[in-house]
Structure 1
Amino acid sequence: MADADRERWTYVPLISVGPLRFGMSPAEAAAALENLTAELTEVRADSALKAEFRRPAPPPWFRGAVTAYFGTLEGLFCVVVDAQSGPQVVMDGIELVGRAPSHVEAELKAQDLALRYQPEGDSEAEGLGLTMRAQRTGDVVLTRPVFAVMGDRAYTLWDAIPADELHVH
């Protein structure tokens, strides 16, 4: 999707991703994303409910624009934005979605953010609840940011990311 065609959302670290606020219920998230349709599935490995929000027009096999994960007690704890079809999420002037990972990483470092690297090589800013995953899109790799809060669910940001997300490339 061309950047000009994407909605623009703002990320407020550990609070919200666009209209989605951490802690909200699946029904509240569906109401906040009323222009998207949701497909709900249970993720047993993470004791979570997964909601894939899609645009009505793309073919059914097309990956969801936004994936949200909800815990029984904590509500929304993780939001993932697709590199191809998701909205553009901006944090402090940095566009996080659908870009070359090295460019986003350089902009984060330029703001003196302490980045670490997860076991798969993805950069993260744990204090911001942000992991920059990579997604293959044709012959290129683009950013697929993962926004998460740890809460009682995990000790590290890596542990807070649902297992389903570690299999998306």
Structure 2
Amino acid sequence: MTTTTTSLHKASCPQPGATSGWISAPSSPTPLLDHAVLERLREDLSEYDVWRVFVQNFITALPLRIEKVRVALTTGDADGAMDAVLSLKTASQMVGAERLAALAADLEAAQREGIRVADPAVALPRLAVDYLHRIKQRAGQTSYALRTHLDTARQPRTINSQP
């Protein structure tokens, strides 16, 4: 009896710029930043310019979030990987980082499918190979765009109480 197996890695490795073999590519391009989300954030948190602090905190925490994803994936920690990728996705959505959130959602779906069809100790490190470089690149682009947005956003008007 002869059996033929296909390497899970070969089945899951995307071509450069593509998504994992476990899920399909998005049908429409997503903006790097959703400026409507940033504007709503600015309106909701305008007092004391809290929205700026919120966005700056996202930028500051981004490397740590990515590191948590990396560690969980490379060690095959399914629960930790899901927690880390959901944290990255949700935080990205909150600041309008649409492409980063979409990439995190893609990784989330790939994780769910990967651990369904293979041992997490095998599937998750392979997803790290497939996704981490792109996540780091997208995070750098997003951080740059958010810093630029913060630099160019109108400063709050001050009311001069003197006649």
Fold agreement, TM-score > 0.5: no
Bigger helix share: 2
Q: TM-score range by the shorter chain?
A: under 0.3
- Work out which of the two has the higher radius of gyration on C-alpha atoms and give 1 or 2: 2
Give the TM-score, by structure 1 length.
Answer: 0.26
Give the TM-score, by structure 2 length.
Answer: 0.27
Q: Considering Cα pairs closer than 8 Å and 6+ residues apart, tell me whether 1 or 2 has the greater RCO.
A: 2
Bigger strand share: 1
